[in-house]
Amino acid sequence: MGRLERFWQRVSDGLELNQLWSQFQADARASYRLYSRDVDSAGQEGLTRGKRFWYVAKQFFWAILEKLSPARRVLLLAALVMIIFNPELTWHNNEGTHIFSLDLRLYGGLLIFVLLVLEVADRVVMKRDLQIAREIQMWLLPVRPPQIPGVEIAFATRPANTVAGDYYDVFPRHPGDPADASVLMVVADVAGKSIPAALLMATFQASLKTLSSTPSNLRQLVEGMNQYSCSNSQDGLRFTTAFLGEYDPTSRKLTYINAGHNQPILRRASGAVERLGAGGLPLGIRKEAPYESGAVTLECGDWLAIFTDGLVEAINHREEEYGEARVVSVLQSGAALPPDKLLSRVMVDLDFFVGSTPQHDDVTCMLVRAV
């Protein structure tokens, strides 16, 4: 019994049956979304229920088959023929006496197992490479917020995949220059997910750090970022939404530009709620796009929530979005908490809302409290 328990613990990784079932459901939904993209729904119109079933089944079969290499397609088809049709092979001697017969279903199952081993090997290699990419990406993001007079900051991110297209940072414009103590607060979201978005996120970070050290105001900085993004956006297909704010601790003034990003929520100490929407188009769409800057003064007790669309557009099993109203509600109820505790409450509330529904987009949130 001890061996059996150890075997099950190793296989299940210590998860309970309900956790395994939830994980299977999440994997099944993710796989369904992947393959259903290749199903032509328009071709189902006018078909009877039976014909529609076979049409969809055929579309799914080809969607699965075409994601394999040609050699593995042949291997899979051979295995299916052996398992489903089971062509029986028999041998007889010269006198017609039966010697033995061969049941090909066993060999079909072995071929399926070989195919599984090959696919798992690819997945392991890819997972290892993605983990390395994830570690490199984490080097580009701050581990903890800097100490800034007048404000307290907390941030968190959750990638939908191993690597993400979201970016956040808080850093001084000109470190070491006492005459310029302004601080940049940035949250950005590259269109798309996974490796392509992560690569563009890295280029966004590099260009931001380079341009922010030059003698320029916030509008000139964003215009320079936009011109650089346009040269790498594939004619606007790979654009980036971003919120950039420059905070002056002396005057407590936050000058900002919203480049097509979700409007941050400014919750005043009185409970009033404002949105920071002044700005322009997302970066990378039009090279000469104009940008308008806005400004607010952060008074003691004010809260500023900057987030990506992965937070407010997260959905539950009923296809309902989390929404900005829930973010405002958590801000209102937890205004007395420190930023890290309130941010934890936001993420827990998000988890409670989505339940077992798979995460479909990167989630990033930055909370700033004026003290």
Same domain, 21 and 154: no
Angle between helices 324-333 and 339-354 in degrees, nearest 10: 140
Q: Is residue 54 part of a domain?
A: no
Same domain, 364 and 217: yes
State the pLDDT confidence band at 256, using cuts at 50, 70 and 90: very high
State the pLDDT confidence band at 8, using cuts at 50, 70 and 90: confident
Same domain, 186 and 332: yes
Beta strands in the chain (DSSP E): 89-92, 98-102, 151-158, 166-172, 183-190, 240-248, 253-259, 265-267, 273-275, 279-280, 294-297, 303-307, 363-370
Q: Is residue 302 part of a domain?
A: yes
Same domain, 219 and 354: yes
Question: How far apart are alpha carbons 51 and 63 in whole angstroms?
Answer: 18
Percentage of the chain lying above the pLDDT 70 cut: 91
Please say if the pLDDT value at position 356 is more than 70. Answer: yes
pLDDT value for 355: 86
Same domain, 146 and 16: no
Q: Is residue 135 part of a domain?
A: no
Residue 313 belongs to a domain with what CATH number? 3.60.40.10
Question: What rounded mean pLDDT belongs to the chain?
Answer: 85
Please say if the pLDDT value at position 313 is more than 80. Answer: yes
Give the residue with greater pLDDT, 92 vs 53: 53
pLDDT value for 312: 94
For residue 21, the enclosing domain spans 1-36
State the pLDDT confidence band at 266, using cuts at 50, 70 and 90: very high
Beta bridge partners of 91: 100
Encode pLDDT of 88-144 as tens digits: 666 656 665 555 566 778 888 899 999 999 888 888 877 777 777 777 777 778 888
pTM: predicted TM-score of the whole model, two decimal places:
0.73
Same domain, 11 and 155: no
Percentage of the chain lying above the pLDDT 90 cut: 41
Same domain, 174 and 302: yes
Domain count, the chain: 2
pLDDT value for 38: 75
Tell me the two tokens of residue 354: 């989505």
State the pLDDT confidence band at 5, using cuts at 50, 70 and 90: confident
Contact by Cβ (8 Å): 314, 358: no
Beta bridge partners of 101: 90
pLDDT value for 90: 65
Q: Is 344 exposed, middle or buried (0-12, 13-18, 19+ CB in 10 A)?
A: middle
Same domain, 8 and 149: no
Q: Is residue 105 part of a domain?
A: no
Same domain, 11 and 148: no
pLDDT value for 16: 83
Please say if the pLDDT value at position 145 is more than 60. Answer: yes
Same domain, 171 and 291: yes
Overall average pLDDT of the 196-210 stretch: 85
Sign of the Cα pseudo-torsion (62, 65, 71, 76, in order): negative
Overall average pLDDT of the 340-366 stretch: 91
Same domain, 192 and 324: yes
